[in-house]
Structure 1
């Protein structure tokens, strides 16, 4: 029986979560459907465009994404701090970018006087919206529902488009985050949809490479900020260049279907994280098979389960894949 999403999210342990949605019908989300002979590549653009819109609304960052033929992946970071620093007016302005709200919220945003007997109701509404704007379930709902409606309209049909609820898993440490991001970024290469990361359309890695060629980072993705330090801005505490080189090297090995070896120059992150190359290749090619729940060391998994008041440490056997060996 599916667990409520609130029993799977523990921001106290990690702000990072990997989410995946898969279509339920035989027709592809995107790409070529061999049964109908139709091509749905344009739908990948729908997803990427909507993702960019939602990033501007929610207090949730996207670290990685990949839109595949019949499913999509996103690695999200919940930004509680930003949501808590929004003023009441800013919360409503953010919410109104997607939803109309009600007469009371519209009145407040316009600067009109709110009657005393409506103040308590307004504060409750603002608190609800503030919570939703840093809620993964609401983020995925606002991503999946419009895509489903648009696809159903295009296919002239009704019913489910997505395969039930989206799947999510907590990424409990930097090894889990980095491995999951690389796994997501390399999806098109493993599926033989692209020969290299820069040709992987509608993925975060392609956006990062295009921006890097200009000496920049994509504005709509969580940035790499270099090594961890005091008073650092929000972001991923690794070097962007190290990550791009590592993903490129890993992609070449996967594409050529050989064991291969990762160049010393692009293995800086593996050395820092104490991950052997064979472990890294296994993680980035089989992440979805190896982990069906929270990802982290046994100690981190124990803490995560305690905070969520789980009696059993499910998926504890998977922790061995994150050991240095």
Structure 2
């Protein structure tokens, strides 16, 4: 976006402590080469690696940083700030404050947050189609799918499973395919109030089949996506997962629990089979 970024990340602070010292040193130098002026010189890189291997305290700090969201955000934000300051010919702080972080506690939370981030440019009125939504994963998925179809045209190419957030197993994101996720995001972008900006250009239509694998009701899905930042605070997920997180943090309640209980009541309402939902949905 013009003044901020949204990212869906997988945090894994434990794995770096399972790597060998050499693997930690090599990964760190690949990200932060420091004084290494010639990465193509194996002897130069090896000397820098051996220097790190001889410093156990430094390796412990590096392990912590390689699994830290805070350090990731530092590594992401600092180059952007330097670039912006060069463009504006100025110095000083670029980002207004520290980043905000919400834990995604279950599969539905991950998917709804992915859709929320992919629709950011639409909500801001920066574009009217997903293909014009720059710097989003859904645009990359569209371009990747188009390229794959072009290559496999006439070869009976099998539909690819949804590529998940880096590090997550494909099985954790329902049975969605790349195309079904794109269709779900597109439909979600059509649901904004017609008098408000942030709505994709298209006519009203039925929810896609993929919605029923991530929610029991269209309103449940929309409530989660549209309320990603406003309805939750420290974590996003079902009422049960939010309460478990509250216990883990030593709290008695978490923002979002009441809304999730309301969605539970919505799910308990009798619904027609989703294949014959036309009357119910189009009359809203």
TM-score normalised by structure 2 residue count: 0.70
1:172 and 2:105 matched: yes
1:84 is displaced (CA, Å) by: 4.7
Gaps of 5+ in 2: 37-41, 150-160, 193-198, 267-284
1:251 is displaced (CA, Å) by: 2.0
Q: 1:235 to 1:123 in 2, by over 3 A?
A: farther
1:111 is displaced (CA, Å) by: 6.3
Q: 1:90 to 1:257 in 2, by over 3 A?
A: same
- 2:30 maps to which residue? 97
Q: In proportion to residue count, which structure has more strand?
A: 1
Q: Distance in 2 between matches of 1:288 and 1:242?
A: 25
- Residues 198-253 of structure 1, C-alpha deviations (whole Å, 9 max, x = no match): 1111111111111112239xxxxxx8259xxxxx6687443222211111122233
SS of the counterpart of 2:79?
helix
Q: In proportion to residue count, which structure has more helix?
A: 2
Q: 1:161 to 1:170 in 2, by over 3 A?
A: same
- Residues 74-102 of structure 1, C-alpha deviations (whole Å, 9 max, x = no match): 01012457535533222112211333469
Q: 1:126 to 1:274 in 2, by over 3 A?
A: same
1:241 and 2:179 matched: yes
- 1:50 maps to which residue? none
Q: 1:183 to 1:323 in 2, by over 3 A?
A: farther
CA contact (8 A) 2:133 2:139 kept: yes
1:312 and 2:252 matched: yes
1:150 is displaced (CA, Å) by: 2.1
TM-score normalised by structure 1 residue count: 0.62
1:288 and 2:246 matched: no
Q: Counterparts in 2 of 1:79-98, with a 5 A limit?
A: 79=12, 83-84=16-17, 86-98=19-31
RMSD: 3.5
Gaps of 5+ in 1: 1-67, 217-222, 227-231
Decide which of 206, 215, 232 is 1:262's aligned counterpart: 206
- 2:89 maps to which residue? 156
Identify the structure with bigger relative contact order (alpha carbons < 8 Å, sequence gap 6+): 1
Q: Distance in 1 between matches of 2:130 and 2:143?
A: 11
Q: Counterparts in 2 of 1:126-275, with a 5 A limit?
A: 126-215=59-148, 224=162, 236-237=173-174, 238-254=176-192, 255=199, 260-263=204-207, 266-268=208-210, 270-275=211-216
Q: Distance in 1 between matches of 2:57 and 2:33?
A: 17
CA contact (8 A) 1:107 1:114 kept: no
Q: Distance in 2 between matches of 1:125 and 1:102?
A: 16
The alignment covers a number of residue pairs equal to 238
CA contact (8 A) 1:180 1:287 kept: yes
- Bigger-Rg structure (1/2): 2
CA contact (8 A) 2:131 2:142 kept: yes
SS of the counterpart of 1:215?
helix
1:131 is displaced (CA, Å) by: 2.1
